[in-house]
Amino acid sequence: MNRAHENAEGTAGTRFAGKTAVVAGAAGDLGRRLCHALLDEKATVVGIDVDGAAGERLRTETRSAGKPFSFERVDIADPGAVTAFARTLDRVDVLINAAGIIQQASIADTSVEEWDRVLGVNLRGAFLLTKALAPLLGDGAAVVNVSSSVALRGGAGWSAYSVSKAGLVAFTKVAAAELAPRCRVNVVCPGPLDTQMPHQLLRDHPGKEAVMSELARSSMLGRLGEAQEVVPLCLFLASDDASLVTGATVVADGGITAW
């Protein structure tokens, strides 16, 4: 990997000093890195995830470093759980909706239960969190949603996942219009990332290595992205550096959707 990408995440600043950030999907590869990067830039971070064990491991990591991090186990697809979580907060300056689950199946092979589960986390969850936390977002606040490049190009076999991520792009534009001018809302669309998610999806696939290689070749850069390459982009959009940017869809997919 290009060392510049690694250094970009490690360059700590103070853009979020005095600010409170909520990161949904904090226990995932991207969410965990977002939490650490925000903490490095002096934010107070509240991480939420349905994976309580992984969240506790993250809390232990940050506690040993003496950083202002707290973790709550929250099922973001559950309206009651999200409402209860919102009541624990006084103010939110940054909300990053990075929670997501992946599913690969055709329309014919997707059950109603699977459809509801994927849209429940990837789309309903972002809606519920944004709705619940909107009253706590003050002037200059920012929401960053994490979608996917499949939202822009679709593709056979990605029925519920593609639709959920495309819905998140549309939801971002609606939220940007409704929360302006006090709050900016943008969405990031990464391409395939070399994280636990695709490896778990393909864990029992006999052609796992071939599939991963094909994903890499679909990029103009000839490789998969890395979670740490998406972090600086999310933090830029969440910061005052992006004060004129709202309602935007920012693609970081190595050129996959530009072919």
Where do runs of H (alpha helix) occur along the chain?
3-10, 29-40, 52-64, 79-86, 112-119, 125-133, 150-153, 159-179, 196-201, 208-217, 227-238
Using CA atoms, how far apart are residues 230 and 234, in angstroms rounded to an integer? 6
Q: How far is CA 157 from CA 110, 160, 162, in A?
A: 9, 9, 9
Residues with a known catalytic role:
161
Using CA atoms, how far apart are residues 142 and 144, in angstroms rounded to an integer? 7
242: three-class secondary structure by DSSP:
helix
Residue 238: CA count within 13 A, CB half-sphere: 34
Q: Report which DSSP code applies to 97.
A: E
Pairing of strands 249-252, 20-24: unpaired
- SS3 assignment for 18-76: CCEEEEECCCCHHHHHHHHHHHHCCCEEEEEECCHHHHHHHHHHHHHCCCCEEEEECCC
